[in-house]
Amino acid sequence: MKHTFFGGVHPSGGKELSLAADIRPVEPRRVAIPLLQHIGAACRCVVSVGDSVSLGDVIGVPTGLGAAIHASVSGTVRTIEERPHVGGTLVESVVIENDFCGHTRLLPPLADRSGETVMQRIAEAGIVGMGGAAFPTAVKVQGAVGKADTLIANGCECEPYLTADDVLLTTAPRQVLRGLELLRRAIGPKRAVLAVEDNKKTAIEGLRPCMADFPDIELCILPTRYPQGSEKQLIRAVTGREAAAGELPVSVGCAVFNVSTCAAICAAVEEGRPLTQRIVTVSGEAVARPGNYRVPLGTSFRDLLEAAGGLQVTAHRVVSGGPMMGLSQTDLSVAVVKATNAVTCLTQQQSGTGDRCIRCGRCVAACPMYLQPLYLYRFDDRPRELRRLHLTDCIECGCCSYICPARLPLTERFRAAKRRMKEAGA
């Protein structure tokens, strides 16, 4: 049964810019692989300057909550130094000169595909949530065992401009479904669902004939609405359940994984391939050749944009991710990481902002988390009021910024306010 969720918006898609193109490979001359590509602490570097590495060699191991990091090209380690990160900080990174030989080190074959061994392989392959959260997938799977009765593969990709998951579902539907089947075996839910929005017509046409081979998985086609791809909103749309403020999906018996994560699990289990590359949408009106690119992790945004033909006009904003939830970048030397699903380049027309709230209340009607953005904006420098208004429940979906007729940068202000609260121990 399909349900709905409160709030949300219907932004113009912009998906036609990149959807028609094939997936194009990117081969950078060098990569700078950050040792922090997940929620948790940075990995400990296990290579040295001058080492020769193969694609797939472990170069970073977790020191706590985290995920292993592997070389994304074969070649020589040139430097190990702090580099700008998409998150806005400096992160220790391993710089590898690509020898273009393609020497690859695969994980050993996995004959036993029980739940425990699948979880172990997910950890060995360094897989994290590839929809943007970057939470270590093995930890998430372990936390869902015995608690989640519903497993959902998230193929909604509701953010404007983004088509990476859509193209994946179109070109490799069986890989996604096999990965979801492996997750089903590991977690043991009563129900497994692949959720896709109805604007992905080509992908849906390709998925339907595949479903007969996966009788334990159901295809759920949802009406297009933003932010349907957000975990709590997707759970509400698929099951009718609502997780309380501050609660995780397992609190209502659900576990949600992005379809790119499912495909990465399939590649790790069936082929022994660690997570070293991903599909990235490069789009926006400022890009010369929008499209989807298969990109080695550690590739700089500058090299990726060059592969996309560069910028045909001056970009007012270059965003890691989509225009609603993405992070604006000030340095194109930042690298593609495991959670980078898009690089969006916007002109002045797409990214203009205002400076005064007119108290129309549209942001309140649009907020899918039942918050009051106009008051959060008014009190963004007062931690006590922000706690009372439940700022920490904000999922930074950008609905309020999109619907605001004054074009206020609400999401950016809330993100900064949450950061200040965290630094102050609030």
Whether residue 334 lies inside any domain: the answer is no
Single out the residue in 242, 271, 300 at which a domain terminates.
271
Distance CA 82, CA 333 (A): 12
Average pLDDT, integer, range 82-101: 96
CB atoms within 10 A of CB 353: 12
Sorted by sequence, the CB contacts under 8 Å of residue 201 that are 6+ apart come out as none
Q: Are residues 244 and 372 in the same domain?
A: no
Instruction: Tell me, yes or no, whether 250 and 147 share the same domain.
Output: yes
Mean pLDDT of the chain: 93
Q: Is residue 158 part of a domain?
A: yes
Averaged over 121-129, what is the pLDDT? Answer: 97
In this predicted structure, the answer to whether residue 171 has a pLDDT above a threshold of 80 is yes
173 occurs within a structural domain: yes
- Distance, in Å, from the CA atom of 376 to the CA atom of 413, rounded to the nearest integer, reads 9
Please say if the pLDDT value at position 1 is more than 60.
no
Do residues 179 and 262 touch, judged by C-beta distance below 8 A?
yes
Is residue 181 within 8 Å of residue 118, measured between CB atoms?
no
Tell me the C-alpha to C-alpha distance, in Å, between residue 190 and each of 28, 140, 161, 259: 44, 18, 34, 19
Looking at the structure, tell me whether residues 261 and 384 fall in a common domain: no
Phi then psi for residue 319, to 5 deg, are -115, 135
On whether both 123 and 262 belong to a single domain, the answer is yes
Same domain, 237 and 370: no
Helix (H), strand (E) at residue 194: strand 191-197
pLDDT digits (tens, 9 = 90+) for 247-283: 899 999 999 999 999 999 999 999 999 999 999 999 9
Q: How far apart are CA 414 and CA 381, in angstroms?
A: 10
Residue 303 to residue 313: CA distance in whole angstroms: 17
| Cα distance between the two ends of the chain | 40
User: Does 249 map to a domain?
Assistant: yes
366-404: burial string, b at 16+ Cβ within 10 Å, e else: bbbbebebbbbbeebeebeebeebebeebbbbbbbbbbb
Q: Which CATH number does the domain housing residue 178 bear?
A: 3.40.50.11540
Same domain? 384 vs 262: no
For residue 271, what is the DSSP state?
A: I
| pLDDT, mean of residues 394-403 | 91
Strands (E), 284-351: 291-296, 317-320, 327-329, 342-346
Cα separation, 18 vs 148, in Å, equals: 35
pLDDT > 70 in the chain, percent: 97
Q: Is residue 255 situated within a structural domain?
A: yes
Q: Which range in 77-81, 224-228, 398-402 is most confidently predicted, on average pLDDT?
A: 77-81
Are residues 366 and 266 part of one domain?
A: no
Asked whether residue 280 is domain-assigned, the answer is no
How far apart CA 220 and CA 13 sit, in angstroms, is 21
Q: Residue 309 pLDDT more than 90?
A: yes
Q: Residue 176 falls within a domain, yes or no?
A: yes
The last residue of a domain, from among 271, 290, 306: 271
Using alpha carbons, list the distances in angstroms from residue 336 to 60, 129, 255, 320: 16, 14, 26, 9
pLDDT band at residue 348, thresholds of 50, 70 and 90? confident
- Answer for the pair 155, 194: CB distance below 8 angstroms, yes or no: yes
Average pLDDT estimate for 131-139: 92
Cβ 245 vs Cβ 389: under 8 Å: no
Sheet holding 75-84, edge to edge: 30-34, 90-98, 75-84, 52-53
Q: Kindly tell me if the per-residue pLDDT of 353 is higher than 80.
A: no
69-86 residues labelled b (16+ CB within 10 A) or e (exposed): bbbbbbbebeebeebbbb
Burial of 206 (0-12, 13-18, 19+ CB in 10 A): middle
> Rounded distance, CA 207 to CA 219, Å?
8
Percent pLDDT > 90 in the chain is 77
pLDDT of residue 351: 57
Q: What is the secondary structure of 56-118 as a DSSP string? A: T-EEEE-SSS---EE-SS-EEEEEEEEEE-TTSSEEEEEEEEE-S---B-PPPP-----HHHH
Which pLDDT score is estimated for 232? 92
Pick the closest to residue 229 from 342, 329, 139 (CA basis). Answer: 342
Among the three residues 240, 271, 302, which one is the final residue of a domain in this structure? 271
Those residues with Cβ within 8 angstroms of residue 180's Cβ, 6 or more apart along the chain or in another chain: 151, 153, 192, 194, 214, 217, 257, 262
Q: Say whether 217 sits in a helix, a strand or coil.
A: strand
**In the predicted structure, residue 425 carries a pLDDT above the cut 80:** no
Q: Tell me, yes or no, whether 238 and 381 share the same domain.
A: no
Q: Tokens representing 34?
A: 């950050």
Q: Does residue 299 lie within any of the structural domains?
A: no
Higher pLDDT, 132 or 1: 132
Q: Is 101 exposed, middle or buried (0-12, 13-18, 19+ CB in 10 A)?
A: exposed
Enclosing domain of residue 408? 362-423
pLDDT of 426 reads 52
Contact indicator for 317, 351 with CB cutoff of 8 Å:
yes
Q: What share of the chain is helix, strand, coil (3-state, %, to 5)?
A: 30, 25, 45
- Give me the number of domains the chain comprises: 2
Provide DSSP, 129-140.
Answer: -TTTT--BHHHH
Closest of 128, 115, 118, 153 to residue 65, by C-alpha: 128
Record the pTM.
Answer: 0.92
- The least confident of 106-120, 155-169, 347-361, 385-399 is 347-361
